[in-house]
Structure 1
């Protein structure tokens, strides 16, 4: 998938480098962890006191931060992106209180299912899904989102035991969904889920705003959906917005949906292709 900042890597296309640093007044252990991640990511380590001057002179617009709690985030254009399953917790509370969740109604998961999440992002859906299945396999094309989220999945500790169990059921790869699915055998996942970035996003949704500069805005077409169908045993579910034109375009390409679940509250659509 094409990345919004396609040239962002060790050095951005405009020559601005990417570094890793710590929060202010970092402990020795925090500095050592930042240096370890520096080697792992192949990006330079900078002492925190040198960051401000590089931001002022424009030679730095993006950097990783290891904080005093050993959490990892990435800062770009003043926005901080980090992993936190708090929305999954709220979603679970709502589900227990109301007895329904549109995503679960679409997926119809069983405890033995293996789910493929092709557009993982921050994992807000995946953590919730993982509570109801045996495993979630995800792909995230953005290298920087992948680094922050995979680190969070491996190291986050929640007071909610169901979240800790769910995180252990997630396997995440830094790959393009369209290329990844081509390598998968037929019927290799029980359920396939795809949540491409919305065409007309609700920018008031502040939880997703930090991801936007780094995310892929590549959409999906009939060829991609047919590949998703090929690797699914039970169903394929695509999430979009009522005001986006994705489903109409897919219909024109011959993709038909068996169920379409619409949330009137936020305009979310879960379009389902049931194979069994």
Structure 2
């Protein structure tokens, strides 16, 4: 993760509400607000550098020629499929159930957390941990404000709790057996690293491998399962002690530590 100063401004169409929100964003992420003064993005990037956060009708983070803004992405489609009776591979491997407390240690854009929140329902709880203050705040705001045409998706987004922290530090502060499931998706970071469209995530995100200490803490705080998503050929499963239940037909696979079965 790279700690870069963030410049915050408004769109070319300056409104009082945008200016007010730009100041709120700057304060929340430790950025600096500058007036737009009808300047183009390229000109502002030359002067202030990247990243550049632009507050308008939609809040966008610009790095180079790429931009990032919150969107529920595949969570929308996945929840529609679940509602129609189809399976979801993440839900299958995590064994997520209504009423579960689920800790997503690699929140990123929040897609998996949204699906978890749909399955856990109103009686459950989903906490998404993100170490980048900028990404955490943008996703947190997006989860509370973004609206799609599926009521269940909107309700799920509103239920996700975003925590800006290092997931290892966060788990160390949790009591034993305080959540049902702990989920890791370190592959997410390396996937976006190769995607030009997701350049802001690559620059601001945390691409460190999962530490063995984090898995140890996950086994302490989880009641049922610890699950990790990785490439199907990854040696991380063996290094961290995950069992591959079956080989995936795609490029990814899921490792599981079943705490009930292991009697931990």
Q: Compared with structure 1, are the counterparts of its residues 36 and 165 closer, same or farther at alpha carbon in structure 2 (3 Å cutoff)?
A: same
What do residues 100-159 of structure 1 show as CA deviations (whole Å, max 9, x unaligned)? 221111111111101001111110111111100011011100111112111111222222
TM-score, length basis structure 2: 0.87
CA distance in structure 2 between the aligned counterparts of 1:102 and 1:21, rounded to whole angstroms: 40
What do residues 136-183 of structure 1 show as CA deviations (whole Å, max 9, x unaligned)? 011100111112111111222222111121122211111001111111
What do residues 250-276 of structure 1 show as CA deviations (whole Å, max 9, x unaligned)? 2xxxx242x5354323x1111111122
Note the residue ranges of structure 2 that are not aligned, 5 or more in a row. Answer: none
TM-score, length basis structure 1: 0.83
Q: How many residues align?
A: 255
CA distance in structure 2 between the aligned counterparts of 1:200 and 1:215, rounded to whole angstroms: 10
Write the mapping of 1:1-276 to structure 2, written as runs, cut at 5 A. 3=1, 5=2, 7-8=3-4, 11=5, 18-48=6-36, 49-50=38-39, 51-57=41-47, 59-68=48-57, 71-96=58-83, 99-133=86-120, 134-197=124-187, 201=191, 208-250=198-240, 255-257=241-243, 259-265=244-250, 267-276=251-260
Note the residue ranges of structure 1 that are not aligned, 5 or more in a row. Answer: 12-17
2:214 aligns to what SS in structure 1?
Answer: helix
What do residues 30-77 of structure 1 show as CA deviations (whole Å, max 9, x unaligned)? 2222133233434222222345433235x4121111122xx3221122
More helix by share: 2
Alpha-carbon RMSD: 2.3
CA distance in structure 1 between the aligned counterparts of 2:45 and 2:163, rounded to whole angstroms: 31
